[in-house]
Amino acid sequence: MTQRNSYLRYENSALPQVAGDQGNFTAALVALGANLPKDGKPPEVTLRHALASLPNQRVQIQAVSRFFRSPAYPAGSGPDYVNAVALLHVRICANELLAHLHTIEAQIGRTRMSRWGARVVDLDLLSHGSAVLPDALTESAWREMSVADQVRATPGQLILPHPRIADRAFVLVPLAEVAPGWVHPATGQGARAMLAALPEADKAALRPL
């Protein structure tokens, strides 16, 4: 089965089964989202711009999911998002990759006014090889944090894997397309299992573009 978006062709049968570090590169997963127009152009155009800005000598794109339209989170916080996930092969550490993502966001014109507010682009580092950062105890505390505490708290450092991966259909649906064999290095749970555990209504709310 072959799917196409306007950026990159992939074949589901040929997608890498990603678990962690491989050879002299590290497999990393990045979530992309946008729900505001940029220069009069829709969010999907912005995501293509962000994708085109990702590769350099130490960052390579291996696969990109389809683009999906999803309701804003939290509910009612803005227009629908366009979301995708990219599988990268990188030769930089997690914090360097995060800085690269923030540079792209700034170049596109993102301003960080509120944590979960509407935005022209959002690039989230989901995972970097088998890294659990900054340590297992901190990662676990953020992953198990209640929704109420999530609203009030903002991490002061990079948490990996992203603590909300297992909660969000708009992350897991595209993630499972590009890395169906990905396994959470702290919990041992696979991408497909996490996706299957989500409410059907959450998954049904996503619409491929």
pLDDT of 76 above 70: yes
Q: What is the pLDDT of residue 68?
A: 98
Q: What is the pLDDT of residue 49?
A: 96
pLDDT in tens, 132-190: 999 999 999 999 998 788 778 888 899 999 999 999 999 999 999 999 999 999 999 99
- Give, rounded to a whole angstrom, the gap between the first and last alpha carbons of the chain: 17
Q: What is the pLDDT of residue 113?
A: 57
As a whole-number percent, the residues of the chain with pLDDT over 90 amount to: 75
**Two tokens, residue 52:** 């085109």
pLDDT of 198 above 70: yes
- Average pLDDT along the chain: 88
Q: What is the pLDDT of residue 153?
A: 84
Say which CATH number the domain at 181 has: 3.30.70.560
- For residue 91, is it within any domain? yes
Q: Return all residues near 67 (Cβ < 8 A) that are at least 6 apart.
A: 5, 44, 47, 82, 83, 84, 208, 209
- For residue 119, is it within any domain? yes
pLDDT of 5 above 60: no
Q: What is the pLDDT of residue 56?
A: 95
Q: What is the mean pLDDT of residues 57-80?
A: 91
- For residue 207, is it within any domain? no
As a whole-number percent, the residues of the chain with pLDDT over 70 amount to: 86
pLDDT of 4 above 60: no
Q: What is the mean pLDDT of residues 51-62?
A: 96
- For residue 148, is it within any domain? yes
pLDDT of 92 above 70: yes
Domain interval for residue 49: 2-200
- For residue 209, is it within any domain? no
- For residue 166, is it within any domain? yes
- For residue 208, is it within any domain? no
- For residue 186, is it within any domain? yes
Q: What is the mean pLDDT of residues 90-117?
A: 87
Q: How confident is the model at residue 114 (pLDDT cuts 50, 70, 90)?
A: low
pLDDT in tens, 36-56: 999 999 999 999 999 999 999
Number of domains in the chain: 1
